[in-house]
A and B are shown apart, each in its own frame.
Chain A
Amino acid sequence: MKNKTFESFEAAVADIPDGSTIMFAGFAGPGTPRNLIAALLAQGASGLTIISNTPGRWADSDIVDLKVLVDAGRVRKAVASFTAAPHPSMSGVFAELYEAGEIEAELVPQGTLAERIRAGGAGLGAFYTPAGVGTELAEGKEVRSFDGRDYLLELPLRADYAMLRAHRADALGNLQYVHTQRNFGPIMARAARITIVELDLPIVAAGEIDPDHVHTPGIFVDRMVVVPADAIQETVRNG
């Protein structure tokens, strides 16, 4: 049995080279792999393309999310459903860099983002979606009509690495998430070449998780680190 258990976040991200494309799970807090992000910041990889719902929070804060990689200049390009804050009164380093042309971004409707990731992990060449038809996001994209309705052609997203947080796992990497921690985790785990997971709870023996209750099968999981008590926990303050 391949050992997927890593003793430290540092070891789990040690080989990630500059220029990697990395998917990061998480939505408004839950599922964000904060300890892996902190380890990646310390590791120093740069020129990264990040694929995530947002490129980090917009307000100033000491909470660890993708904002720390953006602030440190490690991100070359973001693929996300936000390139500005949800409200015009909010700003942030990413928005300022993007307005100034100092960082690249591809803005994608959130459902299209999720489906492109799903398609990337499902062996598909492309798909058609009604989201974005008739808007400026349709510019340059193939529009095709099925049963009288227009759809846009969208291409899959794949990545070198995916990072996510799950609740528990067995030694084979079979994962369970808790509540809205799940979000992008299952689809990103399938769309990346190497999936790295941080876990709320200690790893259990194979067979301890009911096979009918596995959310992400271990075949999609490569590296796991259990979050120690003194590391970053998902707390109410984070959200």
Chain B
Amino acid sequence: MKHQRIIVTDPTLRDGSHACSHQISVEQIRRYATAAEAAGVDYLEVGHGNGLGASSLQVGLSLVPEREMLATARACLKQTGLSVHVMPGFATAKREIANAIEVGVDLFRVGSHCTEADLTQRHISYVRNAGKEAWGVLMMTHMASKEVLLEESKKMQSYGAQGIMLMDSAGAAVPDDVKQKIGLLAEKLEVPVGFHAHNNLGLSVANSLAALEVGARILDGTARGFGAGAGNAPLELIVAAMQRLGYSCRADLYKVLDAGELAEELFAENLPVSNSITIVSGLAGVFSGFAKPVQRAAKQMGVDPRDVFVELGKRKVVGGQEDLILEVASELAARQKPVADGKPR
């Protein structure tokens, strides 16, 4: 093999939470986690779509309490590490992180909007002091230049992050963006750099490979792309493509393909598809996790969900600001009223 081994992280049971409005069941966790362990992914990420402590009216209540989700997965994993996503502002160190440490989480991926890395200082330190692994995650990375991303990831590195992930949370990136941003980080950071794709523009696999090409050492992929919006880079496709290109990883291709088959069965009703809404969402650069709540609100208020995405994009909303969906949808509805009344605008 010509390349260094790539770490494969699988957030199917975390990002996929968005795709089914956070209704992942204990049974689904148990069966998928068992398959992920067999497939040999390095880490399996589990929890609410927005991470620890995010089960809320704002972004959706989880079907299963956090502790139970994590404990269920924990019981199925041996070689594969258990990972969680952490967003300061939702999760606090002493409550959610301490709780997750107790359950036996191995890796904490502490994230913030791509320009707000300093919010993660306390949480990363807390995890490191507890003797656990912490990575820094920058989200919505299409909204910042590569220089800003470097500066922010250096902050996380200085807090003790042992890896840095760039998330294309809106699925708005094209391979050239990824090469520039990941390339600069891979060149300048001491810790391994990784990439997390979304498929809104159908580029999740291409973007993931572009990241590897310029030195990424970590890749996120989900079974059948089970994730927010148009989904993530499908795990089975990136593992296959990596094999084709000569990148090594711990995962076993056939077992990964099996996990994909299982996901198709387990999550049949909610597997992500590319449609006009996810495409507009990607173009507008809006957090992929907004897809379901936007559709719900648009339906209730009688407005075009695409218009809602365009307006949200104009307002530069960030992950966690789901309440603005209601505001935008009701505003659009109010604007439409005169038409409904038959009066000219």
Query: Does A associate with B in a complex?
Result: no
| Residues of chain B at the chain A interface (Cβ within 8 Å) | none
| Residues of chain A at the chain B interface (Cβ within 8 Å) | none
